[in-house]
Amino acid sequence: MKVIPVLNMEEPEIAKVGTKGQVVIPQRIRRELGIDSKTRLALYTRGDKLVLTKIQAPSLGEELKSLFREIDENYKRKRRPSEREILSIISSYRHGKRRS
């Protein structure tokens, strides 16, 4: 018999699968791991075991800040287009789309 080491050998919590396949994570575990109603989780199988882990995705605000930093880096040595130039490009694009 192969013994698999377990990191946390506390008393297990019991969860029940509902008729819609939903599983409620016990409150103690949600608090301990910082899981709330908006937390995204990934599920994996390892043999006959189910592994559930939090997805550490950056917030939209952080992603946008990163995107703007990248844009700023790309324009560091270049002149940025003016609002008038941007509107002109958009207008000509739209005009070209209407023709086709």
> What does the pLDDT profile of the chain (100 residues) look like in tens digits?
555 555 555 678 888 899 999 999 999 999 999 999 889 899 999 999 999 999 887 777 877 888 788 878 877 777 777 888 888 888 888 888 777 6
Domain membership flag for residue 54: no
Residues 6+ apart with CB under 8 A from 47: none
Going by the DSSP 8-state scheme, the letter that residue 66 receives in this structure is H
pLDDT at 95: 82
Domain membership flag for residue 18: no
13 contacts 28 by C-beta, under 8 angstroms: yes
Number of domains in the chain: 1
| Domain encompassing residue 75 | 60-99
Domain membership flag for residue 69: yes
- CA-nearest of 18, 19, 38, 22 to 30 is 38
Domain membership flag for residue 30: no
